[in-house]
Chain A
Amino acid sequence: MTPALLEIADLRVTYRSASGEVPALRGIDLTIEAGQKVGIAGESGCGKSTLALSLLRLLPRGARATGRICFEGEDILTMGWGRLRAVRWSEASIVFQGAMHSLNPVRQVGSQVLEPILLHEEVEQAEARARVSRLFEDVGLAASTAHAYPHQLSGGQRQRVMIAMALACSPRLVVADEPTSALDVMVQAQILRLVDRLVTGQGIGLVLISHDLSVLTSTCDRVAVMYAGRIVEEGPAAEVFAAPRHPYTAALVAAYPRIGDETARGKPGGLAGDPPDPQRLPAGCSFRPLCPVAVAECERLDPPLWPAGAGRQAACIHLRPSDVR
């Protein structure tokens, strides 16, 4: 049996700060098969971006990651620097959020797309340049855009450049961290269709990180919902959002108004408080203080992911199998 494209097991990340260790990820388990499109949902501060950065070991100094991130059977967290540099971009690449700052402001965008090609592959300059032109056409940009500087492009164009750059070395996995959050709605839809088309067409695995559930349902096969550094629910995208099994997912879904739904328009749902301070997590289930269906036992038990229907899991005490005490 070939190993999964990406297999994350018990991934924990803590940041060192002046006031002590701050846990950002608290035991993430997630498997992505080749060509699969997986969405990661959750609100700001739940650890989505930390997860994206840790996949290529890009966390800032002062962050410590433990667990396993197996990429095609090799553990990213323990591989040597040389091997890691070779894996970066040529096998897994990232589309960062806010392409305004993710592109070097003083270099032409074409040369920035060219850079990883020349770095990872032994090709002639001319051939690599021709490939950059093709990449630009693939993402719907004129080949002449390659000579532009980032500040001369619109937000949508810059994000297209980022996508062209991410695909430059034909990776097996693309991680897109909020690729559309800085764009207006029309451009968002274009960019998402573009990512979807390119990734599906080339059989590339996709991790799409977003706080926007509609973005995830329209693009992804499966989604994982994160809360306070853990995955609280996981399953097929459409089912998870149509019939959430975890009360946090339910609250997240309720917070989005739906077209044609009169009650949601008058009274959008939401939570009565903020997520917990990662340095002072409540005992037991971290969602308990905000949970509408909490029971006394939630204070003692931090539930793991339990089966919650076909191909689905959720971490809630109400889903405890009868054989678990």
Chain B
Amino acid sequence: MSRIQKPEAFAPDDREQPLYADRVRVYPQAVQGPVRRAKWIILILCLGLYYLVPWLRWERAPGQPDQAVLVDMEHGRLFFLWLEIWPQEVYYLTGLLLLGAIGIFAATSLFGRVWCGFACPQTVWTDLYMLVERWIEGDRNARMKRDRKPRWNAADWGLKIGKHAAWVLIAALTGGAWVMYFTDAPGLLRDILALQVPMTTLGFIGLFTFTTYLLAGWAREQVCTYMCPWPRFQAAMLDQDSLAVSYRAWRGEPRGKARGAGTGDCVDCRACVNVCPTGVDIREGLQMACINCGLCIDACDGIMAKLGRERGLIAFETVGNLAAAGAATAAIPPGPARCAPGMAARKPAQLLRPRTYFYAAAMALIGGTMLIGLASRHPVGLDALRDRSPLFVRLADGSIRNSYTLKISERRHNPDELAVSVEGLPPGSSWQVLDTTQADPSGRPVITTRPDGLAEYRLFVTTAPHGRPEEESTAVIIRLLSPGDGAERASVGTTFLRPRP
């Protein structure tokens, strides 16, 4: 039952909270560990792919671009290695987007927001920007100290300006690389060096330079917490068995000094908070601003190792195991003694669950459909558009003619000659293709396809003067045949209309 309470307007406490919140600046600290290493490797792979892919070459037919991955807007072609996608086949792009979406759903239900923490461009570029920031300005404490200074001296200004200059340079490279996916990369570089870049290209480079600088340099975690819709509905993907970055409160609480009695393993050193790129405290549990990057795991493990305690106070852990370990250790007083029985109460994470089966099935279905579609693509495609005005033409001798526009696509790069055949009409019917003079031995008109393009022909189908079809609307099949062996290359069904008597 839903009920809506009237807002308690003018309640004095209601006005205490400010309408707008100040930004809390985050100064993430450098950290070392296996998660950080994995993130560096993924960062290098992602950025390497992004910057290098436009430079890959791929041998194609003469006159075709030799760029391995190219979105050719001008000619309406998408080149991906050996594939050439036409605008009519945008459903392959739809399939990719579906695969991407379901893939993220699946990854989230298995391992929490690993996409956000490891592979999202916002995270990757922010990581890169933070690295540059650390190189130039120093680590967390140095940066905080500088930002708290009432006045900056020349050195401070120098570092700040140097950092922003480096950021803008990275942003410009990012914007430039983006444009290279849409144009010939070496040619664009030559144009840039010769200062002869078209305004449109320059505009796009500028746009992506600006957004990269703004989002990775300034906005950072604000993108994840305020702009991105994904944190809002991630809860729907997570369940008892999702391995998300979690604080083992059953082990850590109550927090206290390292040598304090009756305290858990957490010494409240705040290392996990200091390294967090979004500034959250993982000890408060799963929360919207946590991007699951796992840097707090490395930070905490480092502290635990120094203290000689078990690692894994913060770990990739399921909600189910947190509850099980909590229940198993509730009777044991807080302290190192809780660790072994708590860990023993855990069960291995259940990776194969109904929802992961469902995601796998959905991805297999979509991927399989795309593969079958790609494998069964015909080099020649045929479409017949019936003239709808007039529906039919009455000729002087009383015969009836229907007119069609044939659209014949040819994927290969050499023209093909094909005979046009029309089936389904009474004997005596004939057909002509406008402005073709060629015919095969049985008198069928022969058309020529347009290499890597669409050819349009007008087809006129005429009945004999007294050989009208029985039905007002007759199903006919138009076929394209090899003139040599008569093998069918493409066909399409359409109708033939005649007047009421």
A, B assembled together:
no
A interface residue numbers (CB < 8 A to B): none
B interface residue numbers (CB < 8 A to A): none
